[in-house]
Structure formats: C-alpha cells, structure tokens
Amino acid sequence: MRQHIDEPIAIRRLQQFAVDYEMQNNLQVLDKTVVTKEQKVACVGSGPASLACAAKLAQAGYQVEIFEASSRAGGMLSFGIPAERLAQEIVDFDVKTVADLGVKIHLNTKVGRDISLAELEQNYAAVFIGAGLWGGRKIDLGQGAMSGVVSAMDFLPVVRANGTYNVPEDVVVIGAGDTGMDCASTAKQYGAKNVTILCNEENIPAYHEELEAVQQLGVTVLTNFTQYKFIGADSVNGVIATHANNFTEIKLKADLVIWAIGQQIESPELYANLKVNGNKLVVSGYQTSNQKFFAAGDAANGGSTVVQAVHEGKEAAKAIIEFLVDGE
Ligand SMILES: Cc1cc2nc3c(=O)[nH]c(=O)nc-3n(C[C@H](O)[C@H](O)[C@H](O)COP(=O)(O)OP(=O)(O)OC[C@H]3O[C@@H](n4cnc5c(N)ncnc54)[C@H](O)[C@@H]3O)c2cc1C
C-alpha cells in the first residue's frame, strides 16, 4: 500500500538501524533471567529458531542448553548468508545476548554423533529441534562422481568457516534462487573470473535486488536451460545445457560446478523415530510425533526465512512451556 504514497517501508534498513543502535548503546533488550524451574530443556542447533526458543525459555526460568554441531553459533546466519549481507559481529552480538541469559551453548557437539537424541530425551524434560536443512541437494546426471561438482552447502559454509576456498577461474552455478546468487557472488569474491548461473525457470526466482547485485559483479544469468551434462572424466571441466526451445545448446567452461537447488535434511537417520514428511519434521503446534520433542524453523517448515524461524522458535517455546507446566 505504502508504495502508492511514496515508497515501500524499508523494513530491512529499519531492523538494521534498531540492531546498530542496540549494539552502539550497549542496550539490554532482553530482561535478565533467574533460573526458577528445575526442568532442563535441550535445543538442537544454534540457528535463529533455536536461539529464539532458548531465549524465551531462559526468560521463563528454565535451564537451557544448546547443542551445536559447528564451531560457531548462529546457523545459516554464520555459515550461509554471506558476511557482506549480514556482518558476523551482528550475529555474534545476538548469540552473546542469548548466552548472557544463562543459556549454555555446547559448540562442536553434533547430535547423532557426539550425543544421541535418546540421551537428550532421557536427560532433559523437553527437546527442541532447530537443526535446519544442512544437506546439500545435487542431481545425479548418471555420470558418476566428479571432483569439482559440489552443492551450495559444500561451498558456502566451507568458505565462511575457513575464510578461503580454492575457486577456479570458471564457475557455473545451477539454480537461480537467492542461494544461487550467494554462491555466484561468493565465487566472484574468492577469485572466479567467469561465473554463469544457469536455471531451468523462465523467471528468475531470486529477489530482484540479489539478481541486480550479482549482475553488477559481472555474473551472467541464463534462464530456460535444462538437460545439463557435465564435461570431464574424474573432474569436471565444463557444462553443456540445452534451451527449452530444444534447439540452442551452450557449452560453458567450468572447473567448479555448484548445485544451488535447495537444501534438505542432512541426516534423516537422526529422525528415524520421528515422523518426517519429505523435507520436514511433522509437527502439530510445534510438537513432533514424540510429545517430548518440538521442532521449528527450516527443519519443520521445509525452508523459509530468518524472521519466520525466529517467530516459530518463540512460538515453540510457548508450546514447550505449556507442555512442561501440564506435566508438573
Ligand atoms: C545461502 C543462504 C542464504 C540465505 N539468505 C537469507 C536471507 O537473506 N534472508 C532470510 O531471511 N533468510 C535467508 N536464508 C534462509 C535462512 O537462513 C533460514 O531460513 C534460517 O537460518 C533457518 O533458521 P533455523 O534456525 O531453522 O536453521 P539454521 O539457521 O540452518 O540453523 C540450524 C543449526 O543447526 C545446526 N545443526 C544441524 N544439525 C545438527 C545436529 N545434528 N546437531 C547439532 N547441531 C546441528 C547447524 O549447524 C546450524 O547451526 C538463507 C539461506 C541460505 C542457505
């Protein structure tokens, strides 16, 4: 509506202003907490869904522990969204705000590897799953494994974690959503000369401003291309694709091909005892098929946004509190 008067409200900039003001003035935006409850709650993952859930539970007086597989907290905020779009210090500030509420964060602790869901079930009154979607999707083109062909999740988190990546001169990204744009801009930033994004859609799914940003970096985006084939034997050195008109074929040099076609549950076996529907844990009012387990964020909605994950994390905390109070 607003754009008919002057221009749309710049929500992202307003949020950025609020966070900057909070950081610069060292404001305490979340009330200090006192542990008043005996029950302990475990949160799997430290992305926005878990952080929001943990903060709400801690504020309600519960003892909360987060188990995070990575060496740094923040989930996709720390490992997916490029730092130029979301500065690490902002993420670290938010994580610290939650930790200051008394929430214990165990880094480098992967549930399913370092501690089992069964142990969490036994030792905690409730378990929140905010593990997101950390499995990268690749399409099997029937050409066998080739080095140089990776998924966005093999690429973006590795670049963020190591601060470096051996990016070759020629890169092809398959998929033109926001993740595809992030892969392309990151590849450019880390040394690629020629980056081409291929997608099978006629209309590019990424936000217009993300598309404009990569185009300004000199990335080429080609729509309506399908029937991908890789050139190479043990390692990839090119991509062939055919236009939807079934006539135009292109051949692109590429020593790195990045599939950016969405994420999936990383370790489905972790949820063997819970109901899963495709890419989502089945939840009803944030409670999974096991009443002690709750879930929200990407792991339960199939992949959405940070704001949605935060909202769901808070709502899940309310559902957990109701469950714990009922069980007292
Ligand atoms: C490249 C990219 C760019 C994006 N850009 C934007 C954007 O600009 N704006 C926006 O709103 N959204 C964006 N999104 C989407 C957004 O990041 C997600 O919707 C949001 O982060 C989901 O939050 P979450 O807490 O559910 O999961 P995540 O942020 O994915 O966090 C899950 C956490 O769980 C941990 N974990 C996973 N498995 C385990 C385990 N077994 N044990 C312990 N820990 C585990 C992971 O290490 C991770 O820290 C982007 C996503 C990607 C991939």
Q: Which domains are delineated in the chain?
A: 2-133+265-326 (3.50.50.60), 135-263 (3.50.50.60)
Q: Which of 51, 68, 71, 76 is the pocket-test mutation for ligand 1 (most atoms within 8 Å of CB)? A: 76
Q: What average pLDDT does range 205-215 have in this prediction?
A: 95
Atom of ligand 1 nearest to the CA of 308: 19
Exposure of 71 by Cβ count < 10 A (0-12 exposed, 13-18 middle, 19+ buried)?
Answer: exposed
Q: Would you say how long the chain is, in residues?
A: 328
> Contact 125/39 with Cβ under 8 angstroms?
yes
Q: Dihedral sign for Cα 200, 202, 207, 212, please.
A: positive
CA 91-270-153 angle, to 5 degrees, is 45
Find the 44 Cα to ligand 1 centroid distance in Å: 12
Find the 272 Cα to ligand 1 centroid distance in Å: 21
* Weakest-pLDDT range from 1-5, 60-64, 139-143: 1-5
pLDDT value of position 31? 66
Give, using CA atoms, the residue closest to atom 12 of ligand 1.
305
> Contact 112/269 with Cβ under 8 angstroms?
yes
pLDDT value of position 143? 87
Query: Is ligand 1 within 6 A of the CB of residue 156?
Result: yes
Choose among 131, 72, 125: nearest CA to 96: 72
Residues 6+ apart with CB under 8 A from 307: none
Rounded to whole angstroms, the Cα distance separating 242 from 282 reads 38
Distances in whole angstroms, Cα of residue 32 to Cα of each of 80, 99, 103: 30, 11, 12
Contacts 24+ apart (CB under 8 A), 281-287: 281/129, 285/319, 286/312, 286/315, 286/316, 286/319, 286/320, 287/319, 287/323
* Weakest-pLDDT range from 33-47, 63-77, 161-175, 289-303: 33-47
Give, using CA atoms, the residue closest to atom 49 of ligand 1.
75
Find the 120 Cα to ligand 1 centroid distance in Å: 21
Rounded mean pLDDT of the chain?
A: 92
Q: What average pLDDT does range 154-160 have in this prediction?
A: 95
Query: Is ligand 1 within 6 A of the CB of residue 312?
Result: no
pLDDT value of position 251? 98
Query: Is ligand 1 within 6 A of the CB of residue 75?
Result: yes
Cα 181 to its chain centre, rounded Å, is 14
Find the 236 Cα to ligand 1 centroid distance in Å: 29
